[in-house]
Structure 1
């Protein structure tokens, strides 16, 4: 074709001549020209040489390798992440023992990669965490927030050995509250291990200095999910939940709680800031010899040669956190080259942030517990001490929430209802010496004052005396209605009791002898008879006995004998009763005296 072009023939005509001579189609000639275009004439033959076609195994032919491939995939796709070569060798050994056919190693690996997706291989060999790394992290936009709208907090173990005043040497833990909008560190505390006391102290410092946030982002660690902080939150799943648990500080302040995954740097922005702290603060030149490395395999050569005193450590830590907040050139969407402090200050100046009251400060400055007031006097016995104030007598036998200073139980306690309402303050009742006259006089004076006050209150609340109440009731007393009488009268026939005697046979001579003997035994001078005991009048139980009582009182009145006032009053009321009239009618109808 090239020679034809040189002789003045067009390329199309030259291709047609060559194609007819070689007995190929013109399209084939054009394809050959494209393969060697731009190449030297000496190199064209190698590019035009035909390559042998690949002899790939057809899918229907792979069925005979199925048992081998199943064993190989099960051995290779494990969480231990073994290398492919030893797994293949083990599979070949099993295949030879069982007579299975097997492909070469490269072919087996290519088949696994073609059949099992990459993400599935990662999940089987690295687990769920490895699978998460296959996808990009969620990008959260903070530009819609403002300063102190939301905060997040977490604990971090600093990679420095510190010597505490009690002689303990360990790596301290720091808890930090960070503003989500700006990234500024708002407050922090340091202790041996993460605990609710340090979390409450850091939270209280943040609220005192900057205000109450609307949202808090925590992980579900014990130091954040403790009952002092988050009891009552709807999605809190830590510790045993009881109905009488006091509501935690955050729900009481109206702060919405968001729970993040544990050890997930993608969920909490503060994890990224801790990386900055680990690089700058932990490796400060003043901590030389005390740095321990961020993992066991990264220990420096001077590991354990020094421990920093706690006071010096806290000074350097404070400087590092200050430098972290004031460093310019931050590249976040909200900072835009400014420092965290500048970003926070600009938004904070125009933000609407709630400030805590003095009563709300008690929520995080003190520990809390539930107790029950004494059922009579309302006093509180808590941690071996007794607390009381006058107002507590009105709340006797009530379950309450006690907020106290763990370091000074004698300073008194604040008492709240289970719903979170502040009831009052109670002082610690100090024990008084058994013979302490001054203490006894003070107690007696206090009791007299309380009684005097209660008398005044009693007069105010009871303006009418019992005599006035009685007079008002007697003034408007209605006449007693007559008792209802029955129209049907059932007669009662009493049975005459049989006569019984202890002596069945009398002997006149014996009786006369007994009478003489009795007369001899009686002294000549008789003693005055003792007055009979006064019996108390009692109304009988049956109708017959009551009628008999009435007849006896009537006889005594007719004869002029003594009748008690109570007996006369009862008779007067009984004579107007239908029972008396019925019994009188029976007496007249059938004769005889039923009373006799």
Structure 2
């Protein structure tokens, strides 16, 4: 029996020359030959010769089709056609040589009837494609889920080719031309295309993709290897140990499987593939305890810079410059010693503008203070609301951030030094350790680092492995050259369009100026006394019995310190780090205890002048103490004074000046104030007037009291 023809092969092949009713519009012999040809003869004996057309009622059939209809061997058919047994039979050339073609009417009547029945069945309307049930469809589509990527790609390509094939046929293109186009465009042969048609025959188009998934019997699409028992978990535990490879983990798993009786394990290649494909990098990092790798795989959150106002937050950090600076030349460094200076920078979050920076030989609080004062000078003494910084000792020192909580310092203690930033009311945000991407200032360092290789032999590289071969240890640059290069690069950075968030292609300088001039924007500014205070350093001190304290070998004393409580009361002194001869102030937490405390110079005591100076200081101290003691000894209980005396006191009190109330910027710490010459003269005048009034009031009160006591004395006969 012959093979039933696919529906796709019965579609019209030719769209031209349809005016002659006797022309063959669909050559069934061509389709039959395409599916039933033998390997030797192929299409050469199963299709009409090119350029010839047979009548629909008497088509020429190839030997393969005649063999299928008559069950006569091909050798017998060739011999009969050669001897004229089949009238009209002719020999036609083909790709495999000449082949015999026999007209249908030359065949027996039974064969002709069989041929007509086959053609009638093939030309009947196609039955609608049966639809799969939901369970069958889910199982059918499971082929796509379990297929390898290579098999899935092949199925998608086959679906694309089939859709292209039927689309071209629907447009009236000749089938042979479509085959040729598919071969040229997709490199798919006609046999492969027909195999794909058979695979989707009878299915809805929505279910073609799983039907086209290749079903290889080899390793590519075979079911995955199974791990018996708990061997997979044991293997993952061993493979996740730091420094242990997959092979070692598989060997240990095999020994454990032998003891536990789990069974045979997959091969080493399969184990490597499963460890690579089935265990995510995040789980591997967690198994190995690699917090840094796990952190790099965590989802990130983009900072919305548009939510920040100008000067709302400053980002601060330091960078070790990768350039060797000449010894003892310039504005920094130690004489006779070459070094790599530190660069400390402060930028504004919103505008990315570099508001302040400083260079220094050491990364310490003095460098941070210098950068902060430079930022205050650049911005016109603007105070930010917040400051973001790392966890270095230079910023966690109490001189800078004292009075704020820190993870390694604990909560704020009573009597703790108040740093510069808390003094100004700046909230301190410590960045996450080892998390450079959270600080915008780190991006600035990447820009500035680009100028350092230009110093050639003096460039050190950011690590020993990156140090260039041309580096010369005897080559230096001056500090002035380094600072000048950095300053020029910062100016260039300020005038370069920025691609960051909320910058919209504008330069940091443009954004800074626009926001500063925005209507309603009022930045916080510091007072003159606060600005002077930022230049001072702080150090905890302890008062001795006589009220003196030391700062780096220098002794300080005043009457106020002598009267202050002694012991560990949390005192700290504010001093000028570059001038120890300048007066200092003594604080306890945020309360000013004494100001303008002078340094006590040391004396040798070998001459008269030193002895006189020492004696004078002692006598001044004794005189002050005696005056205070006398005031306490002479105190008497006050007897009610007559109404006339009360009115006199009230009149005298009216002479005291009344202070004008002013609105001042609140400070966390009580600020010492420098008085002008006019203010000091006025204070001296008022003090003298008060002393005079006190003396007069005292004399009047004493005389009134004596007058009241006089009758009592006479009555007692005294």
Alpha-carbon shift at residue 379 of structure 1 (Å) = 4.2
Alpha-carbon shift at residue 192 of structure 1 (Å) = 3.4
Local SS of the residue matching 1:163: coil
Alpha-carbon shift at residue 229 of structure 1 (Å) = 0.9
Over 3 Å counting, the alpha-carbon distance change for 1:89 and 1:290 in structure 2 is farther
Contact 1:413/1:425 (<8 A) preserved: yes
Higher RCO (C-alpha under 8 Å, 6+ residues apart): 1
Question: Residues 445-483 of structure 1, C-alpha deviation per residue, up to 9 Å, x if partnerless?
Answer: 775697699788599389278898799799999xxxxxx
CA distance, structure 1, for counterparts of residue 476 and residue 255 of structure 2 = 56
- Given the alignment, which residue of 333, 336, 343 partners 2:511? 343
Over 3 Å counting, the alpha-carbon distance change for 1:71 and 1:35 in structure 2 is farther
- Given the alignment, which residue of 422, 430, 436 partners 1:251? 422
| Aligned counterpart, 1:156 | 319
| Aligned counterpart, 1:229 | 400
Contact 1:142/1:181 (<8 A) preserved: yes
CA distance, structure 2, for counterparts of residue 300 and residue 141 of structure 1 = 39
CA distance, structure 2, for counterparts of residue 142 and residue 466 of structure 1 = 75
Alpha-carbon shift at residue 94 of structure 1 (Å) = 7.4
Over 3 Å counting, the alpha-carbon distance change for 1:330 and 1:164 in structure 2 is same
Alpha-carbon shift at residue 252 of structure 1 (Å) = 1.4
Contact 2:460/2:471 (<8 A) preserved: yes
Deviates more, 1:293-302 or 1:445-454: 445-454
Alpha-carbon shift at residue 397 of structure 1 (Å) = 3.8
- Residue 338 of structure 2 corresponds to residue 174 of structure 1: no
Root mean square deviation of aligned Cα: 4.5
CA distance, structure 2, for counterparts of residue 282 and residue 238 of structure 1 = 37
- Given the alignment, which residue of 376, 379, 389 partners 1:207? 376
Question: Structure 2, unaligned stretches of length 5 or more?
Answer: 1-7, 14-23, 33-116, 131-157, 167-177, 200-213, 329-334, 632-687, 714-718
| Aligned counterpart, 1:553 | none
Alpha-carbon shift at residue 263 of structure 1 (Å) = 2.6
Structure 1 residues 554-569: aligned runs within 5 Å:
none
Question: Residues 151-170 of structure 1, C-alpha deviation per residue, up to 9 Å, x if partnerless?
Answer: 01011112222233123233
| Aligned counterpart, 2:364 | 195
Local SS of the residue matching 1:216: strand
Contact 1:161/1:304 (<8 A) preserved: no
Contact 1:334/1:343 (<8 A) preserved: no
| Aligned counterpart, 1:585 | none
CA distance, structure 2, for counterparts of residue 21 and residue 125 of structure 1 = 67
| Aligned counterpart, 2:694 | 460
Over 3 Å counting, the alpha-carbon distance change for 1:108 and 1:371 in structure 2 is closer
| Aligned counterpart, 1:72 | 235
Local SS of the residue matching 1:402: strand
Over 3 Å counting, the alpha-carbon distance change for 1:295 and 1:430 in structure 2 is closer
Structure 1 residues 391-406: aligned runs within 5 Å:
391-392=560-561, 394-395=563-564, 397=566, 399=569, 400-406=571-577
Contact 1:366/1:406 (<8 A) preserved: yes
Alpha-carbon shift at residue 233 of structure 1 (Å) = 0.6
Contact 1:230/1:247 (<8 A) preserved: yes
Question: Structure 1, unaligned stretches of length 5 or more?
Answer: 478-596
Contact 1:402/1:416 (<8 A) preserved: yes
- Given the alignment, which residue of 511, 514, 526 partners 1:356? 526
Alpha-carbon shift at residue 275 of structure 1 (Å) = 0.8
Structure 1 residues 562-577: aligned runs within 5 Å:
none
Local SS of the residue matching 2:226: helix
| Aligned counterpart, 2:303 | 140
Alpha-carbon shift at residue 207 of structure 1 (Å) = 2.0
- Given the alignment, which residue of 1, 9, 13 partners 1:2? 9
- Given the alignment, which residue of 464, 469, 478 partners 1:309? 478
Over 3 Å counting, the alpha-carbon distance change for 1:469 and 1:10 in structure 2 is farther
Question: Residues 134-188 of structure 1, C-alpha deviation per residue, up to 9 Å, x if partnerless?
Answer: 3453211222333322101011112222233123233322111111111122222
TM-score, normalised via structure 2 length = 0.55
CA distance, structure 1, for counterparts of residue 459 and residue 467 of structure 2 = 8
Contact 2:246/2:271 (<8 A) preserved: no
| Aligned counterpart, 2:169 | none
- Residue 500 of structure 2 corresponds to residue 332 of structure 1: yes
Over 3 Å counting, the alpha-carbon distance change for 1:358 and 1:89 in structure 2 is same
| Aligned counterpart, 2:192 | 46
Question: Residues 468-515 of structure 1, C-alpha deviation per residue, up to 9 Å, x if partnerless?
Answer: 8799799999xxxxxxxxxxxxxxxxxxxxxxxxxxxxxxxxxxxxxx
Alpha-carbon shift at residue 216 of structure 1 (Å) = 0.2
Alpha-carbon shift at residue 395 of structure 1 (Å) = 3.7
Over 3 Å counting, the alpha-carbon distance change for 1:57 and 1:413 in structure 2 is same
Alpha-carbon shift at residue 246 of structure 1 (Å) = 1.6
Contact 2:358/2:374 (<8 A) preserved: no
| Aligned counterpart, 2:458 | 290
Alpha-carbon shift at residue 424 of structure 1 (Å) = 1.6
Over 3 Å counting, the alpha-carbon distance change for 1:4 and 1:435 in structure 2 is closer
Local SS of the residue matching 2:303: coil
CA distance, structure 2, for counterparts of residue 145 and residue 439 of structure 1 = 62
Local SS of the residue matching 2:370: helix
Structure 1 residues 368-383: aligned runs within 5 Å:
368-373=538-543, 378-383=547-552
Local SS of the residue matching 1:224: helix
Local SS of the residue matching 1:162: coil
Alpha-carbon shift at residue 276 of structure 1 (Å) = 0.8
| Aligned counterpart, 1:270 | 441
TM-score, normalised via structure 1 length = 0.65
Over 3 Å counting, the alpha-carbon distance change for 1:472 and 1:397 in structure 2 is farther
Contact 2:572/2:588 (<8 A) preserved: yes
| Aligned counterpart, 1:573 | none
Over 3 Å counting, the alpha-carbon distance change for 1:39 and 1:270 in structure 2 is farther
CA distance, structure 1, for counterparts of residue 535 and residue 11 of structure 2 = 101
Over 3 Å counting, the alpha-carbon distance change for 1:321 and 1:453 in structure 2 is farther
Larger gyration radius, structure 1 or structure 2: 1
CA distance, structure 2, for counterparts of residue 90 and residue 390 of structure 1 = 80
CA distance, structure 1, for counterparts of residue 250 and residue 120 of structure 2 = 51
Over 3 Å counting, the alpha-carbon distance change for 1:109 and 1:445 in structure 2 is closer
